[in-house]
Structure 1
């Protein structure tokens, strides 16, 4: 880290505000220094805004998904099925615990039968709670509020993290560019300011 970089990163807030607003009349304060101060003051505000965007995304996703699950729930009907055959694993790997079994059930449109999800080892004749759609066929039930909330929070957090990462990367690249520009212009700027600074003629 150069002396200029160290000084820029440890400039008091009051001086950062004066520089950013153009009120710092110090002849050694260059345009690049004012730009640095504006960046330093803007970064926390930008990051806070991006975090807020992530929160808004989470809220919107939660509302949309909740409405979708409510529509799904209105077309799902909980019934009790009875298994009529052994459970067969759904996982080809040894030790799989997910399975399905043939089962029968009764629904207002008439009796039904088919494969239902069960735990491996479920004996024949066991009762299993399932959901049917309006036509009486097995269907996935609506997700719980907790599941919807978890998905919304995950998406909102991912959005915020992604935006903040992009902002920090852009800030770092811009800051590095300013540092290089400041180093290149330091000697010419000093030659312009030094005679008046030192009263040398």
Structure 2
């Protein structure tokens, strides 16, 4: 007599719950079957918890980066620079628009000069808005909220993918171990149960 060794993939939720709680009175339901039911029920709960954790990480990253950008903004000064020469590209890849040009500017601490980043092909005499740090050196300006939100979201998604991958890996390893255990114990278990079924018949 051939018996099904593994629970069907479409096992109803009520059956999984009954089996996991030990209330399944089927004599063929073994401890390993209850363990597999608990494993099947645990996976979506773990994934939901990891999703919530990833969302919390995203919120935390957004708040930390927002505070950092606010601090950066305190040390950035927006001025308008005027290019004093043609732009020269520092990236020779096809389609690149990055270039630098000499420029002059005036800010509260006095006049300044240096190289600034511009679009390739920018002619001399072009006004370009830039940011200076407290020392009057060109620097990156603070990022806006959309950029911070995108960074935090990307970090959260990456965290979710990594944690979910670990969860699925753990589930696969545990399920494989339970399947091997079930295969080893099937013959002795059936030898104990088969006489009971034969007697009922």
TM-score (norm 2): 0.93
SS in 2 for 1:33: helix
What's 1:44 paired with? Answer: 44
Q: Determine if the alignment matches structure 1 residue 98 to structure 2 residue 106.
A: no
Partners of 2:104 and 2:143 in 1: CA distance: 24
Consecutive unaligned residues of structure 1, counting only runs of 5 or more, are: none
Partners of 2:156 and 2:96 in 1: CA distance: 33
Partners of 2:163 and 2:186 in 1: CA distance: 34
What's 2:20 paired with? Answer: 20
Contact kept in structure 2, 1:112 and 1:136, CA below 8 Å: yes
**Offset, 1:93:** 3.2
Partners of 1:94 and 1:193 in 2: CA distance: 75
Contact kept in structure 1, 2:5 and 2:186, CA below 8 Å: no
4+ residue runs of structure 1 moved beyond 4 angstroms?
none
Partners of 1:94 and 1:196 in 2: CA distance: 79
**Offset, 1:151:** 0.7
**Offset, 1:74:** 1.1
Q: Determine if the alignment matches structure 1 residue 178 to structure 2 residue 178.
A: yes
What's 1:4 paired with? Answer: 5
Contact kept in structure 2, 1:90 and 1:96, CA below 8 Å: no
Alpha-carbon RMSD across the aligned residues, in angstroms, is: 1.5
Partners of 2:25 and 2:64 in 1: CA distance: 54
Q: Determine if the alignment matches structure 1 residue 165 to structure 2 residue 144.
A: no
TM-score (norm 1): 0.93
What's 2:69 paired with? Answer: 69
